[in-house]
Chains A and B, each alone.
Chain A
Amino acid sequence: MIKKRNWWSVLLIVSLLGILFTGCSTNNTANNAPAESTAPTESAVPEATEAVADGPVDGGTLVMSTFSDVVNINPLLVNDTASGDIAQFVFASLFDLDREGNVTAQPWSLAAELPVISTDGLTYTVKLKETIKWSDGQPITADDVVYTVETAKNPETGSPLTSAFDKVKTVEKIDDRTVKFTMTQVYAPFLYALCQAIVPAHVLKDVKPTELQTNAFGTDPAKTVTSGPWKWTSWKQGDSHTLDADPNYWGEVKPHISQLVYKIYADQNTEVQALLKGDTDQTSAIPVTQVEAVKANDTISVIQKPGAQYEYVMFNFDSSNFKDDYGLFDGQKTRQAIAHALNRQGMVDNILKGVGALMNAPFLPDTWADPGDAAVNYDYNPETAKQLLADDGWVAGSDGILAKDGHRFSFELQYNAGNSRREQVAAVIQQNLKEVGIEVTPKAIDFAAWIDQNVTPGKFQALLLAWSLNNPDPDGESIFSSKYFPPAGQNSGWYKNEKLDQLWVDGYSTVDQAKRKEIYKEVGKEISTDLPYVFLYQYGQAIGTGPRVHWAEEDAPEPSLGYGQYFHAIKWWVTD
């Protein structure tokens, strides 16, 4: 069976009757590159949260809100936002990211220094700090690292991390403080996989891998031995989590805030009301429709910056999904015409209220792999679109809809029900394409059913979805390469492009960043010309923070990183 190199994960926001559930994945990994990451859109850190003259004070409670409850905080199994949120407060990672997304050894990281990579790029040697220990007082050693990686690699565990470590041939303990990873091949993105929380071998080593999911470690606070600045004190299901500063925390930098409360609300609207009322101090997902209302309250500071996620329209290249087995999207010019016909800037301005940036390739704007002008930009131009469609042989029929060889250009665009943003975007797409003679039927489907029946088996005509890049590495082989066709792989649209297949392999087979940058520039050019997707935009949700919370400017939340809303929370403080 092919293993996936998957550190991308999908951010699919689902809701039913206004109840939202985010499925998104975990690892806080990083951007290796020293990219001058200027915020693509407005980033306001109002005075309320800048360093106050008094400086940090210890103690107090910070109440954060969310709209979905934890599944399991065992770092081997974390795969949803809420679990990831709690896990990153209570578990220390080998390495952590800095604001630019570089892998670093911070005072709160388990590693003492950056990994030593051999000149052939095949071995990584990691040195642990001397002082690190678990919340039960046991030292954290190389055994824990070896156990974590081996268990993650074991297919019986069913760990979402399996693919992150599948290029690791062996992981060896050199001594209590030193671990050596030997790779099966040169694989540049591996560095980010090392930004990984470790689990305690002394607690879990006798648990069968198949039984980790039903083990109390990760779901029962009393049985979850942790390693971070806060420990997991209690979980009231569906209501809240309480995290208290761990008095035995090993780090030299201690948290100022003595208690974190992670409060669960029914949906984002209720969350916003609670923030306005002062029941909570921070929410990381203000719906676009409410941003203005929150900003009008001058005690609340709002950070608006797109996150590490982008939305796209995916075409299906398997003609069996179409009437008479006639693939409507087979023509490259047809796909380019669709890209020209969509008013992407209009979507960003009107639906995202400006919190978004256009994209032409699967690389986030302003990161090191962003191909910039090398990628083809499709401006909104219905006339060009019509011309391209005519060039490709489409002729308007009697009902005004284009047709070719007797096949009407009419397709179904699927998205998940309850996501109001996608609902609006789908309506704009329908309108935009109608103007050039293409009939679109938007169809909202219940999330679980959709993934099971359409996305995973690759049975749809076109769909509207997003990828969340919780790892800033630009590799996209597992979603664009023909090695990953459904149902075993994630290339749900059956896209095949031999040149790109090779470029993705070249891209991760060198650790030389300058070379990689050139390769991804070439990828950007090819993919934006051939268009397996129409790349729409990078988007994000505003973070709102109440007047009790303070941070120094260098410790402010960083939406472009995974879990970046809590960036450097160890250095924040609260006042009453």
Chain B
Amino acid sequence: MTEYLIRRVLQSVLVIFLITVLTFLLIHAAPGGPTQVMLSPGLSPEIFKQQAKNLGLDQPIPVQYVRWIGDMVQGDLGYTFKNHLAVSGLLWPRIGNTFILMGAAWLVSLLIAIPWGIYNSTKVYGLSDQTASFISYLGFALPTFWFGILLQQWFSLKLNWFPLSDMYSRGHEGDIGDLFMHLVLPVTVLSLGFLASYMKYARASMLEVLDQDYIRTARAKGVKERKVVFHHALRNALIPIITILGLDLPILVAGAALTENVFNWPGMGRWFVEMASAREYSVLMAVTIVTAVMVVIGNLLADILYAVVDPRVKLGKQGGGTA
């Protein structure tokens, strides 16, 4: 197990390193640079050149990369070009903000989706199943920004039940109750989207397991239906769900740009889009790394969880089938 973990971590470091090289090349290959966005195009090109020089942007790309990776391994994420602010000081608060929003939405949707999906797998095409299907379609089909604006119009501007946007009201920074009120609308929008897919996965995965021979055998033995579902079927049905959750883990830090926009949530998704159009290379690299690390962690966690729920899976052995 330990040996397996070490091997996986080393592999991951290599993968992340390759990702940084590729990302660095790709974002620098995009035409235009920070100064083209910072400065008015009407200014003399001399000013663009001088500012690029003052910011170190005139160096060849490999030199810039080496400088960046050198700082990176020392834990320094670099500075924004446009105003020389430390990226780490900007990044961590935003990761925190996004984690609160996405984590809440994820939790809410899982708590509803998994039990409901399991229940529906036992009563296929019943009223509950039909309702769930309808909600899933709605969740897939509603554009998040439109749904968000709709909720704002009803529940904030008309009924005044919830705040319109932001994370806290002015003067209430850090107040948990205030944060909760601000979370309700965006979490509703986001969890509807998650709910739709997780419920479908849970239901489909259960149905597949319930159709298998050993379940039939269990039933034939006269095992109670309740025990069949929760004891025999559920554990196996969880495996594909864990895979999906593991793969989705990065969204907890990557955020959701559109929803964050509508609710003016100071999170990562919105920030990443802004920084991409501003060509803030160091920010883009930092976000890429954090996301890549989350992908790796998500996959690793999923693999470890397989072993927990499925005794057949042995990590680190040839033919374990999960590495």
Taking beta carbons and an 8 Å cutoff, which residues of A are in contact with B? 1, 3-4, 6, 8-12, 14, 16-19, 21, 23-25, 63, 70-72, 79-80, 155-160, 162-163, 210-215, 218-219, 237-239, 261, 265-267, 269-270, 273-274, 276-277, 279, 446-453, 455-456, 467, 479, 487-490
Contact = CB atoms under 8 A, between A and B. Distances in A.
B261 A9 contact: no
Contacts of A211: 54
Contacts of B170: 63, 261
A25 B149 CA distance: 33
B32 A451 contact: yes
Contact of A277 (B46, B47, B164): B164
Given A19-B270, A19-B277, A214-B54, A273 B165 contact: yes
Nearest to B164: A277
B5 interface: no
B32 A446 contact: yes
A274 B165 contact: yes
A8 to B, nearest CB: 5
Nearest to B278: A21
10 contacts: A12-B41, A19-B274, A23-B39, A80-B38, A158-B51, A214-B79, A274-B164, A448-B33, A448-B278, A448-B279
Contacts of B44: 3-4, 6, 162-163, 488-490
Interface in B188-220: none
A90 B261 CA distance: 29
B319 interface: no
B263 to A, nearest CB: 8
Interface of B: 30-33, 36-48, 50-51, 53-55, 79, 82-85, 89-90, 94, 145, 149, 152, 156-157, 163-166, 170, 257-258, 260-262, 264, 266, 270-271, 273-274, 276-279
Given A155-B50, A157-B50, A17 B261 contact: yes
B45 A456 contact: yes
A453 B32 contact: yes
Nearest to A162: B47
Contact of B43 (A21, A70, A160, A214): A160
Contact of B31 (A162, A210, A452): A452
Given A25-B43, A213-B54, A266 B260 contact: yes
A238 B271 contact: yes
Given A19-B261, A488-B45, 15 more contacts: A19-B273, A21-B277, A156-B50, A162-B46, A163-B44, A213-B54, A215-B84, A237-B89, A238-B266, A274-B165, A276-B157, A447-B36, A448-B37, A453-B31, A487-B45
A529 B270 CA distance: 47
B301 to A, nearest CB: 30
B271 A23 contact: no
A447 B38 CA distance: 11
A455 B41 contact: yes
Contacts of A276: 157
Contacts of B82: 71-72
A1 B274 contact: no
B42 A279 contact: no
A237 B85 contact: yes
Contacts of B83: 70-72, 218-219
Question: Which 8 pairs, one residue from A and one from B, show the smallest C-beta to C-beta distance?
Answer: A448-B32, A158-B50, A4-B44, A449-B31, A452-B32, A158-B51, A9-B40, A266-B261
Residue from B38, B89, B94, B163 having most chain A Cβ neighbours under 10 A: B38
B36 A25 contact: no
Contact of B33 (A157, A215, A452): A452
B84 A16 contact: no
A449 B46 contact: no
Contacts of A488: 44-46
Nearest to A239: B266
B37 A23 contact: yes
Contacts of B53: 158, 210
B43 A79 contact: yes
Contact of A490 (B42, B51, B266, B277): B42
Contacts of B276: 16
A79 B39 CA distance: 6
B43 A273 contact: no
Contact of A16 (B42, B89, B273): B273
Contacts of A277: 156-157, 164
A210 B54 contact: yes
B165 A237 contact: no
A211 B89 CA distance: 21
Given A79-B43, A158-B54, A270 B264 contact: yes
Contact of A24 (B40, B48, B145, B273): B40
B18 to A, nearest CB: 26
